[in-house]
A and B are shown apart, each in its own frame.
Chain A
Amino acid sequence: MPVYKTYFKILRKLRTPLLIYTFMFIGLAYAMTANSSMGSEEYHTEKINTIIINEDGQNTLVDGFLNYLDQYVTVVEPGKNEDSIKDALFFGEAKYILTIPKGFSDSFLNNGSLKLSKEALPDSAEAMSLNTVIDNYFNLARVYLSNVPEINYDKLNSYIEANLSIEAKTVFDVEKKDSVTNANEFNEEYFNFMGYVIIAAFITGISMIMFSFNGLDIRRRHNASPISYRRMNLQLILANLIFVFGYLLLFILSGLILSKSRSITINLVLTWVNAAVFALTVLSVSYLIGIAVNSRKAIGALSTGLSLGVAFLSGMFVPQEYLGDKVLRAASFTPAYWYVKANHSLMSIPSFQWSEVSEAFRCMAIEIGFTIAFISLALVVSKRKRQQSV
């Protein structure tokens, strides 16, 4: 099988970019695993990163307030200078900067007008939530001060501390995060990001090889050779499939190794099927590019541009729920959108149910539709090129 052997000889020359994509992906997947948790989830307060600048010094009121605030905020140490504090807010290191001005306690206890200062992202949920929490504390303190006769600061703090010991009961309903949910979250992220690597690697690999086989002189050389077009195409198809499924198998195995749960569920197997269907779609696109584009440099540019563009638009990097409606509508004209959608519908259900996975099968059918369309286009281009080379 000379064509088959030549295919892999050319592929060996492309090993550097392919290895870069592979290691980059596995490295990032490893980072994802390191950050994922496998424990079951309990209720916890989403604490807000806050820089607290206390210019009023230590006193009973401020100490009591800071003690109360501790259950709602994670205190971020202010930087070396004013720029560092502003930068922390801009880059999201701190979501809220609270300044207790000098003389605030005296002013509060004497019904003065001095207020705390805050800097935060306007309209952010965190900032609004913390505003309420802070106002509530001082309103509660004010109610005590004006209604309990002969109250002193220590007594005020003990009243408030007693109040704070009372908490509303929180019940985790419907679905509590367990190891299956955690594994599904990892797998969804892993397979979505894998979609980008598949596009970039396949266009780099397959398109370049197809380009090598489709030069005018090479085609004329084939015409004069004893190997028929049919045999040559069969060998190319076989080589392409071996490359595609070999590459896919590597990623599926690395996903299994990196996943903390390492359990194989029907949903996960269906995700592999979805990845295989998508790989075939990308194979057909890469084949089309390889025979239609006339320059190696153009294939390099297409590999980078197409993979990044499609990955950003279809939700491979950022979940689809965060993309705008118009973006999603545009993305629905790409197979990548349906691939990500299928992954999401398979991984958002804790266990296999036919009624719930039908959506995933619909997405896979659309991906197959794209594959047929690309193959048809490739056949037309291929026939025209064959006619040119005679």
Chain B
Amino acid sequence: MSFYLYITRLKCLFRSRETMFWCYMFPILLATCFFFAFNNLWKIEDFKTITIAYDSQGAKEDTFGEVLSSANMSEDIKMFDVTYCDQTKAEKLLKNGDIDAYIVGNEKPELHIKSNSMNTTIAKSFLDQYLHTSDAVTAIMKENPNAMNEGLLDDVMNNNEYLKEVKSSHKPQQLLIYFYALLAYACVFSANWGLDEVINIQANLSSRGARLNVSPMNKMKLFFSNLMAAFTAHMGSIILVFLYMYFIIKVDFGNNLAYLFGICILGSLCGLALGGTVGIWVKKKTETKEAILTLVVLGGGFLSGMMVHQIKYIVAEKLPILGYINPVNLIADAMYSLYYYDTYERFYLDAALLLIITAFLCIASFVGIRRKNYASL
């Protein structure tokens, strides 16, 4: 009998086009938008060889020109792509946006730019370094006239590396926060399904609830069958969104997908319990309850970095308690820790807090819904 109720409710849910759109299509649409809009945004931070023009003003011995063309940012990346031309042409190139900057003169080179950017800063610090080195050679020659014979030039040309990189197992990618927050939001979105189930079972909230209360069916049994159906349908949407993100958009979720699914299941249950609690305990119109849930779930998504990724960091630093009581943030944070951290402490903390919130909401729903009788319908 319970299975029959479960299947019937499942059919009802799948036939609701509106529910299907918001749960199955909307997260996919948003994920696609995030992917197309933000995908290139972080790639532009990667260094690309700076395009510059250089006018040596007819210098016969052009040491600076040589240094300029041989400068490297790393072993295989050149610092500058140099166009050798006169100042008039360089001005034109700069105006048309073909180059980032141009340099005039070789003894005291001048940098010409049209706006401030990272590339102009790099070009300026390169020029500064060149002048510092030239000045250092002059200063050393004053102190030690024999320095040239003692290998000063070799010392100047020989660049040592004084930095070693601490390798992290996963590269920081801010774009991922948007996807994690979106998947977390989709998990807790089940709150709307939880609310629907409560409205459908409570005689004072819907005519269907009134009809069910006069039927011989055990109300709790029906409620749990309906909740299980809602959970199944909702998890279907989560799996679909996950598959879309994982295989089509290629979002990196780290290596532990079993833990990821675990937190998604817990998130979906938490959402259902949240919707149930609001439905049972808030004695207002259905629209008001829906508005409260939208505020909690969408607001939770915002605080987890779904709209602006830095918000998650700001909340964690300035008001961490808000992060600990926000189910969307706990799920998103658990996903983030699975991707970025080598240990599971942070994941376990998030999962434990989410479990406590879910248990509390389940108890609150159960206490509110059990043994409710109506004197008159």
Q: Are A and B co-members of a single complex?
A: yes
Q: Which residues of A contact B (CB under 8 A)?
A: 41, 43-46, 72, 79, 83-84, 86-93, 97, 99, 108, 115-126, 128-129, 131-136, 138-140, 142-144, 146-149, 159, 162-164, 166-175, 177, 295, 297-298, 301, 304-305, 308-309, 312-313, 317-318, 322-324, 327
With A87-B316, A298-B17, A308-B33 as given contacts, are A162 and B135 in contact (CB-CB < 8 Å)?
yes
A-B CB pair tally, cutoff 8 Å:
237
A91 touches B110 (CB 8 A): no
Partner of A128, one of B47, B110, B166, B173: B47
Please determine whether A124 and B45 come into contact, CB atoms closer than 8 angstroms.
Answer: yes
Contact yes or no, A147 B174, CB < 8 A: no
Instruction: Give the interface segment out of B117-125, B220-228, B275-283, B355-363.
Output: B117-125
Query: Could you tell me the distance in whole angstroms from the C-beta of B251 to the nearest C-beta in chain A?
Result: 15
Interface size class of B (residues with CB under 8 A): 35 or more
Is A46 a contact partner of B116 (Cβ separation < 8 A)?
yes
CB of B260 within 8 A of chain A? no
Of the residues B111, B165, B340, B346, contact of A170 by C-beta under 8 Å: B111
Known contacts A115-B163, A143-B156; decide if A125 and B47 are in contact (CB<8 Å): yes
Residues of A near B47 (CB, < 8 A) are 123-125, 128-129
Q: How far is the CA of A123 from the CA of B47 in the complex (A)?
A: 6
Inter-chain contacts of B117 with A (CB < 8 A): 46
Q: Out of B22, B102, B164, B172, which one reaches A117, CB within 8 Å?
A: B164
- Which residues of chain B have C-beta atoms less than 8 A from A147's C-beta? 140, 144, 147, 150, 152, 155
When distances are taken between beta carbons in the complex, the residues of chain B under 8 Å from A129 are 47, 118, 121-122, 125
Chain B's nearest CB lies how many Å from the CB of A359?
15
Q: What 1/0 flags go to B172-201 for Cβ under 8 Å of A?
A: 111001000000000000000000000000
In the complex, A84 Cα to B336 Cα: how many Å?
13
A115, B125: Cβ atoms under 8 Å?
A: no
Known: A129-B122, A162-B139, A324-B40. A122 touches B174 (CB 8 A): no
Residue B239 is within 8 A (CB to CB) of chain A in the complex: no
B246 at the interface (CB under 8 A from A): no
Residue of B nearest to A122 (CB): B171
User: Is B95 engaged at the interface, CB distance under 8 Å to the other chain?
Assistant: yes
Residues of B within 8 A of A167 (CB): 128, 131
The answer to whether B45 touches A121, judged by C-beta atoms less than 8 angstroms apart, is yes
Measured in the bound complex, the distance between the Cα atoms of B314 and A84 in whole Å is 11
The stretch among B6-14, B23-31, B205-213, B262-270 that forms the contact with chain A is B23-31
Tell me the complex Cα distance, A122–B45, Å: 10
**CB atoms of A91 and B114 under 8 A apart:** no
Q: Is B348 among interface residues, defined by CB-CB distance under 8 A?
A: no
Q: Which residues of A contact B135 (CB under 8 A)?
A: 162-163, 166
B150 adjacent to A118 (CB under 8 Å)? no
Q: Is B21 an interface residue (CB 8 A)?
A: yes
Residues of A within 8 A of B29 (CB): 305, 308-309
Q: Within 8 Å CB of A89, what residues of B?
A: 172
